[in-house]
Each structure stands twice: as C-alpha cells, then as structure tokens.
A and B are shown apart, each in its own frame.
Chain A
Amino acid sequence: MFKTIPDFFKRRLPARNETLLVLSLAAFLVFSWSLRTLFYQAPAFILSYNLWEILSIAAYMLAFALLETLLATLFTVVLAVILPAVLFRDGFACKASFALLAAAAISIHLQFVMTNQPKTNFLLLELGRGFALWLVPVLLTRYVGFLRKIVLDVLDRLTIFSYLYLPLGIISLLVVIVRLLW
C-alpha cells in the first residue's frame, strides 16, 4: 500500500508527457470552439461595440477557455487517479484524448439539437453514443499498433496550437483581472 499521500499520487498520476499531450488536445478543442463562436458572433458585436470592447469580450472568452482547458485536463487526470489503471491511466494519452473528443462531439451535437425539454431517453442515448465514440477508438488503438502511433503523432503535432492558445489565454486572463480590478 501507499505510505503517504504524495506517494499515492505519484504512483497513480499519468505520465507527465502524456498529460501534456492531453492538455494540448483540450486547448485545441476548447480554444478552437471558443474562437469559432467569437468569429460567428463578430458581425453582431460590430453592430454594438467598438474595437476595444470587442477585444475585451474576446479576452473574457479566451480567459474562460483557458480555465476550461485546465479543468477538462484536470478532470481526465482525476479519472486516471480514481479509476483502475487498466481503464484509464494505462495509455492515458489515447484514452483521455478520445474521452475529450467524444465529450466534445456530444456537446456540439447537443448544442444544435437539444430542446429545452429533453427527454431522459434522448439524453441516455447521447450518453451511450458518447461512450461508444470513446470505446471504439480506444479498442482500435489498443490492438492496432500503427493506429496508436498515428494518434500519438497527431497529438504530438497538436501541441503546436498550445504554444499559441495557452499564452493567448494567459494574456486574456490578465486583461480580465485588470478590468475587474480597475
């Protein structure tokens, strides 16, 4: 058994390089969606706000995206810690990435199709779809080596976005903090 709490976490936490890959994917998904909404809404903003105000709104959105990215990554790490290692921690980069992708796909789908009075069956079906979206690629990458390599290569290349998105998020967070303290 683990003697201390730090020891417990050390043994249960996923590898750092895998966590960074997941963080990069989370940043890519969350920031891309946030920027998509920002540009989608831009024509409406232009009607009502000046440039500085639009940049301020963008700062709020990107600061929120940064926090959401960190929380999403943290959530997968917590899952890795509390679930049996074979379920999530082993092959963490692939499993957590597919979990985020499945959750993102379901969330986007629901945003377009969900009414304000969703039926429980409908939500359960979406949950089932999300699980299937996670499980199928997890099994494929578990048993097909070259697929796993492709996925890891893609994840590795996605890190380039985090060099752009994460600093953007940090600057935005600072802008928001300054505005709130002003």
Chain B
Amino acid sequence: MNSKFPRRDFLKLMALAPAALAARPLVSALEKARAADAPHILVFVFDAWTAHNLQLHGYPRRTMPNLERFAERCFVYHNHYSTGSFTVPGTASLLTGLYPWTHRAVQLTAGGVAPAHRDHNIFAALAGSHSALGYSQNPYADIFLYQFEKYLDTYLAEGQFNLERRSLSSLPIFKNDAQIAFASFENNIIRNGKGTSGSLFWGMISRLAGLANYAAIRKAHLKQYPTGVPIASGVFLLDDLVDGMTNAIREFDSPTLAYFHVFPPHEPYAPKKEYASLFDDGWVPLEKPTHPLSRARHPWEEILYNRLRYDQYLAAWDAEFARLLDNTLETSGLLDNSIVILTSDHGELFERGEIGHNTFVLSSPVVRVPLLISLPGQSQRTDVHAFTSSVDLLPTIASLVGAPPPAWTEGRLLPGLGGEADPNRAVYSIDAKTASAFSAISQFSISITKQNHRLIHYQYPYYSGFEFYNMEDDPEEMNDLYPSEPALAKQMKDELLQKIEEFNRPYQKK
C-alpha cells in the first residue's frame, strides 16, 4: 500500500481550510438565525444596591415606587445573596456562575477571573443563540468585559455615557492590553481616589484638573443636583445614562443578551433636586452596635445622614430608570419579547459603624441584594422566599432560553424558573479582599445561609469569631444566637468549615 499522501490531495485539503475557518462563525450565525424568535435578555445591574432599603422587602421608606410597579410582573426573590461584598467578586460571580473561591477574583486589584475560567461566562454560554452586548460604568466590573470581549458583539466603553472620560486605560491605543493598562494607570500611575499616585507630577496635575473639572460641572448642574453630580470613573448625569442605554437597546436587530452594569446607587449619593428633600419623615432606623471589625467607626449621625442620601438617590434613580422601563421597553412592546433582570453585584451597609461596602463586616445588607426577573409577557407577580445566590443567575438564564446550564457553573436553577426551593440548600457569601488569587484563602469574612438561619465566620489575625442569626425572627441580625450554641449553628459551622477546607484543598502545600 502506498502510504504517501499525494501532493495533489494535500492541496485539495488545503483548499478546504478557508471553508473550515469560515465554518465556525457560519454555524454560529445559523444558530442565531434559528433562534431568531428567542427573547432578548436584558440584565441590569445596579451597583451597590441593597435589598434592605426597598419597601418591596420590608423597608419603611418607599424608595423605588416605579420599581415596585414593575415588580408586579416579575419573579421577586426576597432572599437573594451576592457571593461577594464588593464589585470584583460579586460581578465575577454574576458573569461566571462561580463562587469567588473558584473564579479567584477576590481582591480589588484583581485583573479578572483565573485563566482557567476565561471561557466560563454568560456570554460564552449563550453565544450560540444570542448576540452579546456588554457595558459597565464601573471600571472594576468593566475589567471582566475586557476579559470576555471575544464573546461580545458590542462592547460599550465604561465612559460612553459620562460627561467626561477620565480613565487613560480605556483609550483605544490600549485596547490590546486593556487589563494591564487598567492595573497600571487606574490603580497605580494616576489615582484619583485614595492613596498616592505612581506619577510624581502628572498624578497630581491630573487630580487637580479632574477636581477643577468636577467643580465646574457641579456648578453648571447645581440646580439639578444640589448635593453634587453623580460620578463613577467620570462625571455623569442620570438622564444621559438612561438615554444611552435606551439608544443601545433600540439598536437590537437580533436576539440579544445585554449586560448593563450601571453605577447608581453607588456612592457618592447624588439625588436630583426633586428627590434631595424626600424622606423628611422622622423615621429612625434601629441603631446597631459598632462591629469589632469596623475600621471606619462612623458616628451614628453620619450613618443616618448617608442612609438618607442613599434613599434619596434610590428614588432619583428609580424615577429615571422608569423612563427606560415605561417608554422604551413597555411602549415598544419589548417587554413581551424580553427577559428583564434587575439585580446588583453587592449591597450597601449603613450600620455597625460602617457606611458603604468597603468593610470586612458581612452583615446582611452588604450582601443581600434585589433580584427581579420578568419573563416575556409576564403579568403576574410571583414572590420567592427561598434563599438564592448570584451564581444561580447564569444557569437560570441559560435554561430560560433553552440552552443546557453549563456543567462548570456552581449555581442552580432559581426556584420558580425551573428550580425547586430547597431549605437545606446552603448559600455562601465571602469577602476575602486580602487573600491571594494563587493560594489558600486564610483570612476572610464568610457566611452560610440555610434553613432561615445565617452563620457568619470572621477569620483574621486580629479578630475571629462566629455570629448566628435567625433570619425569620430577627432579619435585622440583632440577636446573636451563637453563644447559646444551638444545634443548627454547630451543624452549619461544620458544613462551613468543611466548605472552607474543600475550596482551600487544591492550594494546600503537600
């Protein structure tokens, strides 16, 4: 037998190579065409949006009346927990369906998820059926969109809807090296926030120029925003943000998965004039003792003031976002052909000496976030009280559009949307901002929630301990049951310690 591969056959085979190269996008296009009647999926992530400040979840102030109206046609998840207490781990979990100890984006400086999970994301999971659009106004969430960019058909830059562009790393010249450019410029060379800049002269000039620019913009919009203009990486107006998203949605010409990660209601809390005097109601929230892990130890009056501003900002954002819901989605009929999801990457804390989410304290408001899902044409509200996690979103979305939930996700189908409520299901949240992405996580705040109870474990060199709360009888987490050593606390503690041992095992030195 002649074992030689004839030159002529080889050339014929080579002639097929371009066709083979074209096949993948062709197959993808065919799949998308086949799914032409698939619904759009609109994921709106409001940064630092806690469930605790919504009347929908029992808050006395009616901070978001328009959202409540929209909730009447949604699945409303009352006990939904983010996996992390700040943007990086929370967003990574939303986009990957993985817990922070798996995706490893646990620090503020994280340059994205671990290389092993770069193809494990929501855009990849739906690549066959949906075009993908990604937008994040928060640069720390935008870093993941850079990372998953090959799965995005449309990428909107984080400063797209801002009045000014302040991040050097988002310049087109750095497109090929966006992650390292971001880590270099925004985190080091030119810091506009806390800490010193790596640039001796330009860092300060840039900061002064930015402040002067902000002062000018603030002055120009003082009537509209009496307490200050909203600012993310650059200054923006709530109206522009909604208009920008509206225009992007109007461009959809095929079933699209759109991820909009917007900055409101993240601090600085900047309500518009008509909302800046709301809630002068004399209501005073329950004062909680300062937590041993609170570094800021803000006075109670300051906490109250910031909570009020946050509530006012929620109201302002609610009114603005309602324009998109009512004028764009409702009137155009898009709601009848779209799955609309509203949620957050993490919550916000106004208690125990803390304001915001830059904290080690893992009390419920910093991780319990809203989750509303409206299916195409849905007209009834369904309340779900089971404990759910942000890692559940990805498999649920995949399932809703008929795709199999990816094998790599650590989430489950949400109850009511293909999944079943399971009181024994454990939901975790973790803050490990001082941990390494490459080794075992030894310092953390972590919580496990199940059977209406929540166990929090703090493990730091200077403070460690457990807290245990009955979330049904004590949703404010005032009465720590751990000292009385109930059986369930011991059981949950064992389960939590086993989970920690399990996720640290691959990193233990042999």
Q: Chain A: residues with CB nearer than 8 A to chain B?
A: 29-30, 33-34, 37-38, 40-41, 44-50, 53, 56-57, 60-61, 64-65, 68, 71-72, 103-104, 107-108, 110-112, 114, 116-118, 123, 176, 179-182
CB pair A60 B189 closer than 8 Å: yes
| Closest B residue, CB atoms, query A44 | B109
Say yes or no: is B176 at the interface (Cβ < 8 Å to chain A).
yes
Q: Given the complex, which residues of B lie within 8 Å of A60, measured CB to CB?
A: 180-181, 184-185, 189
Say yes or no: is B183 at the interface (Cβ < 8 Å to chain A).
yes
| Closest A residue, CB atoms, query B173 | A180
Q: Given the complex, which residues of B lie within 8 Å of A34, measured CB to CB?
A: 189, 198-200
Q: Given the complex, which residues of A lie within 8 Å of B434, measured CB to CB?
A: 47
Which of A64, A72, A103, A114: most chain B Cβ within 10 A?
A64
| A74–chain B nearest beta-carbon distance, Å | 12
A179, B180: Cα distance in complex, Å? 10
A107, B206: Cα distance in complex, Å? 11
Give which listed residue, A37, A50, A71, A72, contacts B198 with CB less than 8 A: A37
Say yes or no: is B203 at the interface (Cβ < 8 Å to chain A).
yes
Q: Given the complex, which residues of B lie within 8 Å of A45, measured CB to CB?
A: 109, 183
Q: Given the complex, which residues of A lie within 8 Å of B435, measured CB to CB?
A: 47
CB pair B199 A112 closer than 8 Å: no
CB pair A48 B200 closer than 8 Å: no
| B103–chain A nearest beta-carbon distance, Å | 12
Q: Given the complex, which residues of A lie within 8 Å of B503, measured CB to CB?
A: none
Give which listed residue, B188, B201, B207, contacts A38 with CB less than 8 A: B188
CB pair B199 A68 closer than 8 Å: yes
Give which listed residue, B183, B185, B201, contacts A103 with CB less than 8 A: B201
**Contacts A49-B183, A61-B188, A179-B176; A30 near B201 (Cβ below 8 A):** yes
CB pair A64 B187 closer than 8 Å: no
B419-449 CB contacts (< 8 Å) to partner A = 434-438
Q: Given the complex, which residues of B lie within 8 Å of A68, measured CB to CB?
A: 199-202
Say yes or no: is B498 at the interface (Cβ < 8 Å to chain A).
no
| A169–chain B nearest beta-carbon distance, Å | 13
Say yes or no: is B204 at the interface (Cβ < 8 Å to chain A).
yes
Say yes or no: is B374 at the interface (Cβ < 8 Å to chain A).
no
Q: Given the complex, which residues of A lie within 8 Å of B108, measured CB to CB?
A: 44
CB pair B109 A37 closer than 8 Å: no
Proximity string of chain B (311-339) to chain A, C-beta cutoff 8 Å, 1 when within and 0 when not: 00000000000000000000000000000
**Contacts A47-B437, A48-B107, A60-B189; A104 near B181 (Cβ below 8 A):** no
CB pair B111 A49 closer than 8 Å: yes
A88, B174: Cα distance in complex, Å? 38
Give me 14 other A-B pairs in contact (C-beta within 8 A), A60-B189, A180-B173 excluded. A33-B200, A47-B434, A48-B437, A49-B109, A53-B111, A60-B181, A61-B184, A61-B188, A68-B200, A110-B204, A112-B196, A118-B211, A179-B177, A180-B177
Q: Given the complex, which residues of A lie within 8 Å of B174, measured CB to CB?
A: 180
Q: Chain B: residues with CB nearer than 8 A to chain A?
A: 107-111, 173-174, 176-177, 180-181, 183-185, 187-189, 196-204, 207-208, 211, 434-438
CB pair B198 A181 closer than 8 Å: no
**Contacts A47-B437, A48-B109, A107-B203; A57 near B184 (Cβ below 8 A):** yes
| A50–chain B nearest beta-carbon distance, Å | 8
Give which listed residue, B183, B199, B208, contacts A64 with CB less than 8 A: B199
CB pair B436 A46 closer than 8 Å: yes
Q: Given the complex, which residues of B lie within 8 Å of A41, measured CB to CB?
A: 109, 187-188, 198
A-B contact pairs, 10 of them (CB 8 A): A37-B197, A44-B107, A47-B434, A53-B180, A56-B177, A60-B180, A64-B185, A68-B199, A104-B201, A107-B201
Q: Given the complex, which residues of B lie within 8 Å of A112, measured CB to CB?
A: 196
| Closest B residue, CB atoms, query A50 | B438
A60, B1: Cα distance in complex, Å? 60
Which of A45, A46, A49, A114: most chain B Cβ within 10 A?
A49
Q: Given the complex, which residues of B lie within 8 Å of A57, measured CB to CB?
A: 180, 183-184, 188
Q: Given the complex, which residues of A lie within 8 Å of B183, measured CB to CB?
A: 45, 49, 53, 57
Give which listed residue, A47, A53, A71, contacts B107 with CB less than 8 A: A47
Q: Given the complex, which residues of B lie within 8 Å of A44, measured CB to CB?
A: 107-109
A127, B337: Cα distance in complex, Å? 60
| B170–chain A nearest beta-carbon distance, Å | 14
Q: Given the complex, which residues of B lie within 8 Å of A72, measured CB to CB?
A: 201
Q: Which 8 A-B pairs have the closest CB atoms?
A: A60-B184, A37-B198, A33-B200, A107-B204, A111-B196, A47-B436, A48-B110, A179-B177
CB pair A111 B109 closer than 8 Å: no
**Contacts A37-B197, A107-B201; A116 near B180 (Cβ below 8 A):** no
| B377–chain A nearest beta-carbon distance, Å | 44
Q: Given the complex, which residues of B lie within 8 Å of A179, measured CB to CB?
A: 176-177, 180
CB pair A180 B176 closer than 8 Å: yes
A45, B437: Cα distance in complex, Å? 10
CB pair B189 A64 closer than 8 Å: yes
| A64–chain B nearest beta-carbon distance, Å | 5
Q: Given the complex, which residues of A lie within 8 Å of B196, measured CB to CB?
A: 37, 40, 108, 111-112
CB pair B176 A181 closer than 8 Å: yes
Q: Given the complex, which residues of B lie within 8 Å of A40, measured CB to CB?
A: 196
| B50–chain A nearest beta-carbon distance, Å | 24
| A128–chain B nearest beta-carbon distance, Å | 16
A72, B203: Cα distance in complex, Å? 13
| Closest B residue, CB atoms, query A46 | B436
Q: Given the complex, which residues of B lie within 8 Å of A123, measured CB to CB?
A: 208
**Contacts A68-B201, A180-B174; A48 near B180 (Cβ below 8 A):** no
A44, B183: Cα distance in complex, Å? 11
Q: Given the complex, which residues of B lie within 8 Å of A33, measured CB to CB?
A: 198-200
